[in-house]
Amino acid sequence: MSLITDMKRRAALILIFLTVSIFGCENDNKLSLPTINGLSLYWDHEVFGDEGRRLRFEVSTTNEFDNNYELEFSTSVVDKTITIRLTKSIDKGKCQFFPMPVIGNDDPNKCNATGDFYISDKELDKGVYSLKIIMPSFEVTSDLAVTSEKVTLAIPRNTFLKSSIENVYPIPPNLLFGSLVYQGSSNTNDAENFSDYLTDFGLIQTTVPNYPYRHLTVDENGHRPVTSLGT
């Protein structure tokens, strides 16, 4: 009886050791890049695509590496807290060399690690959110204020996270816009008839504020600009 018990105990210890070893290797493979010193953040708002309306964030490391790394993040929105956490890095091999003028201390043989994450409009109500970006070597919490007209990102003074963009203006929802292009005054009637057809179809002409939208440009009165191509 004691021999069988001892063998079971050894088998259990071996199983625990193998489990710890497997999980240890998996974690090492998920984050294989060297230390990240900081992040540069670009962000805007998307309205096209199957994913629907959402904020799009692109990050790039402030320090460069010998290999090209793709960063993957997890995103969660709980109450008024948005948590962005680096979960994986993919080593895509040596950086591709681009012959170009060197600026400052840039090394043409090295490149920045990059990645992106998204926050759907459906996850955000009006109000101020805490945006927590968690990296292995640092963590920065910023304020993300959502209103009906714009989204504002206020990053506290720090040495790890920076962005040149403070405000993003999402295009108003339920808005159909585009360009009607024709050439020659003889086609003016057809263009006007098409506009009338859209009105008869149930669409209502409207104006929008002259904000710096990503995909929409309007004049100071909120109308789409009219450009003549000549005859």
- At 115 the pLDDT is 97
Same domain, 124 and 83: yes
- At 181 the pLDDT is 76
Q: Residue 18 belongs to what domain range?
A: 1-30
Same domain, 164 and 67: yes
> Domain count of the chain?
3
pLDDT at 18 over 60: no
Same domain, 162 and 184: no
DSSP 97: P
Same domain, 208 and 124: no
Same domain, 86 and 51: yes
Whether 67 contacts 93, CB under 8 Å: yes
More confident residue, 6 or 15: 6
- At 114 the pLDDT is 97
- d(Cα 127, Cα 109) in Å, to the nearest integer? 44
pLDDT at 6 over 70: no
> What global pTM score does this model have?
0.77
Same domain, 126 and 142: yes
Kind of pairing between the strands at 81-94 and 127-134: parallel
- At 36 the pLDDT is 94
Q: Which band of pLDDT confidence, cut at 50, 70 and 90, is reported for residue 123?
A: very high
pLDDT at 120 over 90: yes
- Quickly list DSSP for 101-166: ---TT--TT-EEEEEEEEEEGGG--SEEEEEEEE-SS-EEEEEEEE-SS-EEEEPPS-SSEE-S--
Same domain, 86 and 116: yes
Same domain, 106 and 11: no
Q: Is the dihedral of CA 18, 20, 25, 30 positive or negative?
A: positive
Stretch (H or E) spanning 43: strand 39-46
- d(Cα 155, Cα 161) in Å, to the nearest integer? 8
- d(Cα 127, Cα 149) in Å, to the nearest integer? 12
Whether 59 contacts 114, CB under 8 Å: yes
Give the domain-ending residue among 168, 194, 222: 168
More confident residue, 116 or 28: 116
pLDDT, tens digit, 9 for 90 and up, residues 42-97: 999 999 888 999 999 999 999 999 999 999 999 999 999 999 999 999 999 999 87
Same domain, 144 and 160: yes
- At 11 the pLDDT is 47
- At 184 the pLDDT is 74
pLDDT, tens digit, 9 for 90 and up, residues 157-216: 999 999 999 999 999 988 888 777 777 777 778 877 877 888 887 888 888 999 999 888
Same domain, 112 and 162: yes
Q: Which band of pLDDT confidence, cut at 50, 70 and 90, is reported for residue 28?
A: very low
Give the domain-ending residue among 168, 201, 220: 168
Q: What angle do CA 35, 74, 167 make, to 5 degrees?
A: 90
Q: Which band of pLDDT confidence, cut at 50, 70 and 90, is reported for residue 109?
A: confident
| Range 84-111 average pLDDT | 80
